[in-house]
A = this chain, B = another copy of it.
């Protein structure tokens, strides 16, 4: 049983690498969005042509990125959504809602100070964690039944 795990949300810290490293040896296939901020912002116009309006510039990029994120979420067994300290992060909350409506199992990862603001998102999750390490421990338990020593 390969677990397919999509890592959504914050792209400015190395939490994805931490989870991948911790899960080494487990039968998990990770996937996630493009995490190069500039490429992610500009992919639409770089490939499909410039737009004078910032709105359509952004729109084209969001659409091209959706080609990747929708497949990633639709194929996943588990969607992990990380909320960090900065930015609005509405795309992370959107992904969480999208995954929830598809019946995906959700793990939400955020610092404790976001608890009240994220209560509706957390309420849709099967686990709410603060540290990437906890996500690794969940994946290990789900696959092997072993708990941290």
Partner of A67, one of B46, B95, B105, B118: B105
A70 within 8 A of B: yes
Nearest B residue to A143 via CB reads B68
Q: How many residues of A contact B (CB 8 A)?
A: 81
A68 contacts which chain B residues (CB < 8 A)? Answer: 141-142
Interface flag for A21 (CB, 8 Å): no
A36 interface residue, CB < 8 Å from B?
yes
Q: Which residues of A contact B (CB under 8 A)?
A: 1, 3, 29, 31, 34-36, 39, 42-44, 46-48, 52-56, 58-68, 70-72, 75, 77-78, 83, 87-103, 105, 107, 114-129, 134, 137-138, 141-142, 145-148
